[in-house]
Amino acid sequence: MAPPFTEPHIEPSPRRVRVLFGGVYVVDTTDAKYVQKPYYPYYYFHSKDLPKQYLQKPSSSVATGDNVDEKTYDLVVGSKRAESAVTEFTGNGDLAGLIRVNFSAPDAWFEEDQEIYVHPKDPYKRVDVLPSSRHVRIEYAGVELANTRRPRLLFETSLRVRTYIPLVDCKVELLEPSELTTQCPYKGIANYYTVRLPTGKVVENVVWWYRTPQLECAEIKGCVAFYDEKVDVWVDGVKVEKP
């Protein structure tokens, strides 16, 4: 079966996985399962890998219609509680006997000694950053924001190509730091810029960049990307249609 998976696809993970919550590793196992359904992988664990002492207030079982029942629990360590953060799967389905921890509930997740973000990296996905000599020009409302002949193109399986432009090839005087940050399991923590046009018009969070990108995307350091969906882009003199 090839991704994207329409049914839960379960396979063992060879990595040590730890889940940190309230100063305690509530999960520390080398027996985690990758579960793909359908676009992003999640880590599921055997019930033994999350001690019952950290689970409280089970809800009523909920039948899903797939020979699987689900029970939800609060994750509790001392005075710290994450409500409905843990789901236990029972019944006769493929997930029976496994539990899932909502990825956003714990303080941190680790594969071996490396922190991971958003969700586990997909073993069926790859990310490549390639230098290019294409001529890329970006405008908004007729104002040029960037002009480069040395972009770096980021190819990520199943997603649109993103163009990263050296900051020195951008009109940096039009960029204002934003407080927004987002996370990506492949690229790291993104910071954003807002564009302020000479007319005074503000276009919020239309540019992003990575101060310390993950190793596999190290080539985008010092570059920024514009939301192609929100700006006008020309590549080698040809205007690119917005998606």
For 35-65, how does the pLDDT look when each residue is reduced to its tens digit (9 = 90+)? 987 678 899 999 999 999 999 986 555 555 5
Neighbours of 122 (CB within 10 A): 19
Q: Are 25 and 47 in contact (CB under 8 A)?
A: no
The reported pLDDT for the residue numbered 242 is 84
Residue 33 has pLDDT above 80, yes or no: yes
- The pLDDT assigned to 70 comes to 86
Task: Report if pTM > 0.85.
Answer: no
CATH of range 9-116; options 2.170.150.40, 3.40.640.10, 2.60.40.1180, 3.40.50.300: 2.170.150.40
**CA torsion sign, 232 to 153 to 169 to 181?**
positive
- What pLDDT does residue 59 have? 54
Matching CATH topology for 9-116 and 127-239? Answer: yes
Query: What's the rounded mean pLDDT across residues 224-231?
Result: 96
Instruction: Give 66's pLDDT tier (boundaries 50, 70, 90).
Output: very low
- What are the boundaries of each domain within the chain? 9-116, 127-239
Greater model confidence, 49 or 158:
49
Over range 210-224, report the average pLDDT. 95
From residue 227, alpha-carbon distances to 26, 155, 192, 242 in Å are: 39, 15, 11, 10
Model pLDDT, residue 3: 57
Over residues 108-114, the mean pLDDT reads 96
Place of tokens 């190793």: 215
Gap between the Cα atoms of 86 and 55, Å rounded = 8
pLDDT of residue 93: 81
**With 50 as the cut, is the pLDDT of residue 14 above it?**
yes
Whether 78 shows a pLDDT value over 90: the answer reads: yes
Query: What does the alpha-carbon distance between residue 193 and residue 205 come to, in Å, rounded to a whole number?
Result: 5
Q: Classify 25 as helix, strand or coil.
A: strand
For 162-199, write each residue's pLDDT tens digit.
999 999 999 999 999 999 999 999 999 999 999 999 99
Which of left, alpha, beta for 97 (phi over 0: left; psi -120 to 50: alpha)?
Answer: left
pLDDT at 75: 96
What's the number of CA atoms in the CB half-sphere (13 Å) around residue 128? 6
State the CB neighbour count (10 A cutoff) for residue 72. Answer: 19
Q: What is the average pLDDT value for the chain, to the nearest integer?
A: 91
Highest CATH level, class, for 127-239: mainly beta
> Rounded CA gap, 73 and 49, in Å?
15
pLDDT band at 143 (very low <50, low <70, confident <90, very high): very high
